[in-house]
Amino acid sequence: MKTLTRCKWSFIMVVGLLGFTLGCGVVIRNATPPPAPCPIEELLIDENVVPDEWWLYSTGDPATRFGVEFEEISFNSSNGRMLYDVYREWSVRKAQDSYRDLAKSYFSLQNNLTAWDLPPELTYQSSVADQVQIGCAMAISSQSQRCQFVAQYDVYVVWFHASMSEVMTYTDFEAVLQNIDERMATCLK
């Protein structure tokens, strides 16, 4: 009799767990993202702030995908590459988590790069972003410097990365950061 009761209880548990799992799956599949504060295309950097020596290389989806929607714009020059990715997350909380993951990943110690630090020439402070990390590292093999910016603005997470040279100075880099902030401020007001 005990065995029959145990089997009956186990069967009820399995059926209940299966029902719960399937029920959650239906909710997840039918979930729709909240409306965007603004079209993501409006958050791409203005090509007028990019130095003349850079040309538009591509637009489209960034290779690293997360969030509800994402967009990437990249530029090339004779001295390197510049990338700008914008991601929109499901919620502010999810954007905070994604920002932390992205910053941890992109500012980690990597082969062929010196440690990331903030040079004294980069003084830009965002008054719009909720979280920000800026830093530069030197590519050991080519002795070229790379700077990047990761930030979270409400439901958006952005990454801007540039090869630094005479065609991308710290002043140019900060002009792009200012343009990012201006576009985010307009979107989120």
Task: Please indicate, yes or no, whether residues 18 and 91 belong to a single structural domain of this protein.
Answer: no
pLDDT at 21: 47
Task: Please indicate, yes or no, whether residues 55 and 106 belong to a single structural domain of this protein.
Answer: yes
Collapsing DSSP to helix, strand or coil, 66 comes out as: coil
- In the chain, what percentage of residues exceed pLDDT 90? 59
Q: The domain containing residue 160 runs over which residues?
A: 40-188
Task: Please indicate, yes or no, whether residues 88 and 5 belong to a single structural domain of this protein.
Answer: no
Pick from 7, 3, 25, 26: nearest CA to 15: 7
Mean pLDDT within 86-107: 95
Task: Please indicate, yes or no, whether residues 133 and 172 belong to a single structural domain of this protein.
Answer: yes
Spell out the residues 6+ positions from residue 175 whose beta carbon is closer than 8 angstroms to its own: 49
Task: Please indicate, yes or no, whether residues 97 and 181 belong to a single structural domain of this protein.
Answer: yes
Mean pLDDT within 50-64: 80
Task: Please indicate, yes or no, whether residues 10 and 86 belong to a single structural domain of this protein.
Answer: no
Lowest pLDDT segment from 50-54, 157-161, 185-189 = 50-54
Task: Please indicate, yes or no, whether residues 26 and 56 belong to a single structural domain of this protein.
Answer: no
Task: Please indicate, yes or no, whether residues 80 and 122 belong to a single structural domain of this protein.
Answer: yes
Q: What is the CATH number of the domain that holds 143?
A: 3.40.1000.70
Mean pLDDT within 102-114: 90
Domains identified in the chain, total number = 2
Residue 27 has pLDDT above 50, yes or no: no
Task: Please indicate, yes or no, whether residues 19 and 61 belong to a single structural domain of this protein.
Answer: no
Spell out the residues 6+ positions from residue 85 whose beta carbon is closer than 8 angstroms to its own: 62, 64, 70, 71, 72, 158, 159, 160
Task: Please indicate, yes or no, whether residues 101 and 184 belong to a single structural domain of this protein.
Answer: yes
Task: Please indicate, yes or no, whether residues 12 and 48 belong to a single structural domain of this protein.
Answer: no
Task: Please indicate, yes or no, whether residues 86 and 160 belong to a single structural domain of this protein.
Answer: yes
